[in-house]
Structure 1
């Protein structure tokens, strides 16, 4: 059974389960496809059994929201990425205004992610081509990384190395970085896609492994020790995959959300689709796995809905 919550008037861009609670998730949404108008951060209770999703709190912003990330060191805080180039930090126990705000990016902030290990830092990635490192206690960014030649769609931290992260973008590349590299240059560049790279994620069980998705309608898996070529490729598909996420419970499964209006779970060992969620009626932009319940997933879509559903346990 699928539980649904309607974000009336707001297109879904990103959804994420809380790393602290098995009954909380958040969605970042935008009015008018994020081109003009407000954004909204929705906090939802994922109720047990078949009761579904219930709104708990919401925060409206003057510009669209494209991504969010829970503060790994503070269970009630969420950072959001905005179309006006700003980043805001919210406390879900408070009403009204954000508790902190930063505005250094010159264009839309497309991605934001908290460090899983060094929990005092997070990354933002932007249409201005830069990636910035932040500490929520400091009013300015700590460092800026500037090698991509177009929009940076996403940045993601290594699950095993607190200083390493990877980025992907409009310039068709994936880059590996260390925040400790003194000259601010990337450690490696992977260039195997034929079009913009939209999303990437690390395998939590194989720390050298990354998965990416691209406008070239393929999914690729990489070993960061070998920048010269991918380990595996799936596709080409009929439509692009907008977001990819490795399972937090197994090294063998990834979830995808895409322009075919569905979310799918793949077995990376043979490239087979083992589950398809096809109840959305527009592009699916956001997808996440619960960290507490194996196979529990959430999606958000341009059809103005957040879905919560259970995938049969895959091992």
Structure 2
């Protein structure tokens, strides 16, 4: 694949990658020694040029790094989620030392995301069963949201700065609206049971998937950990989720118990990370423990809508199988022609490629 760029992180296995929201030529990678189990972490800031990919800056940490997020208010700053329960804010203009340290979680911080609208807050989720809202100027959290089990990915709604979502080990996605009273639910407004069959009626809808066995039905599947989720950037209220059962499902938050809107099947092992395209309403990309990165359509742009009570068929548009270990992170570039994707894996490689080159003609 001629349009693929590669960068190596010797001794450090990657867990997350994110393009800068300011520059199409800059991205960051969170990585760790010993596969994040024990040992140090390293945060890479990489620059792209006509000569390829080069290091602009690195920061070393005493514990593993699991995730990162670029600041939305300072082009030189980013936060990193660590295995010791802390979140560190680094500045590219400051050597090595974090400019802020946030440490309230008492277990590994699995996910961190910056607020893309309000821009003055970021959110973290941890294996300690909590989600915390932070200001980059205060070491104490602004708010703690209890999950009650391992909290995996967390993010903000792309259209409302007060809405936070989190996926968890109990097979649910929880949505919090900070505008609501705290009450007994701590702003919890919606719960999506990812693996539950649709609440309406005893008859399960058929999976409208080309090549599926005759009479195949969606039976909900055994509840499993939901490792990753993301909001559609164009269809308000549509969320995609993936996890240990290998499937990607999309849901409409306005009908949280109505079952999935679409089902995307193809990965052979757990889905570790997924992201909706910032350029097309029906396209998303996923990274999996099966060592592949896959580009999908959720079928929402099909000219003929599916029959009532039918789960829409997702289509695998393309496959990138150049990783030789678990594919752990993936992200879209916000700029350019709309197809550039970065992925990172436990094979100590960062791969950058045009998703259009994967799409089957």
Question: Do Structure 1 and Structure 2 share a fold, with TM-score over 0.5?
Answer: yes
**Deviation digits for residues 264-304 of structure 1, max 9, x if unmatched?**
10011042211211111000000000000210110000001
Structure 2 residue aligned with 1:81:
81
Matches of 1:311 and 1:219, distance apart in 2 = 19
Contact between 2:87 and 2:103, CA under 8 Å: does it hold in 1?
A: yes
Matches of 1:126 and 1:192, distance apart in 2 = 20
For structure 1, the residue ranges without an aligned partner over 5 or more in a row are none
TM-score normalised to the size of structure 1?
0.96
Structure 2 residue aligned with 1:177:
176
SS class of match (1:312): helix
Matches of 2:124 and 2:74, distance apart in 1 = 18
Contact between 1:149 and 1:171, CA under 8 Å: does it hold in 2?
A: no
What pairs with 1:142-161 in structure 2 (closer than 5 Å)? Answer: 142-146=142-146, 148-161=147-160
Contact between 1:24 and 1:44, CA under 8 Å: does it hold in 2?
A: yes
Contact between 1:127 and 1:151, CA under 8 Å: does it hold in 2?
A: yes
Structure 1 residue aligned with 2:189:
187
- Of 239, 243, 261 in structure 1, the residue corresponding to residue 273 of structure 2 is 243
**Deviation digits for residues 142-172 of structure 1, max 9, x if unmatched?**
00000x2321111110011110021001111
- C-alpha change, 1:254 and 1:204, in structure 2 (3 Å) is same
TM-score normalised to the size of structure 2?
0.84
For structure 2, the residue ranges without an aligned partner over 5 or more in a row are 196-222, 300-312
Structure 1 residue aligned with 2:350:
306
Structure 1 residue aligned with 2:320:
277
Matches of 2:318 and 2:55, distance apart in 1 = 27
State the 1:307 CA deviation: 0.7
- Of 281, 295, 313 in structure 1, the residue corresponding to residue 339 of structure 2 is 295
- Of 213, 225, 237 in structure 1, the residue corresponding to residue 254 of structure 2 is 225
**Deviation digits for residues 29-53 of structure 1, max 9, x if unmatched?**
01111111000000001224xx321
Matches of 2:174 and 2:145, distance apart in 1 = 11
Give runs of ≥4 in structure 1 deviating > 6 Å.
none
- Of 30, 33, 52 in structure 1, the residue corresponding to residue 32 of structure 2 is 30
User: Is 1:199 paired with 2:228?
Assistant: yes
| Count of aligned residue pairs for this structure pair | 311
Matches of 1:46 and 1:260, distance apart in 2 = 28
Contact between 1:261 and 1:278, CA under 8 Å: does it hold in 2?
A: yes
State the 1:181 CA deviation: 2.6
User: Is 1:260 paired with 2:290?
Assistant: yes
**Deviation digits for residues 84-109 of structure 1, max 9, x if unmatched?**
00000000122120100011001000
**Deviation digits for residues 104-147 of structure 1, max 9, x if unmatched?**
0010000000000110000000000000000011120000000x
More deviation in 267-276 or 91-100? 267-276
What pairs with 1:21-100 in structure 2 (closer than 5 Å)? Answer: 21-48=23-50, 51-100=51-100
What pairs with 1:107-118 in structure 2 (closer than 5 Å)? Answer: 107-118=107-118
Contact between 2:264 and 2:316, CA under 8 Å: does it hold in 1?
A: no
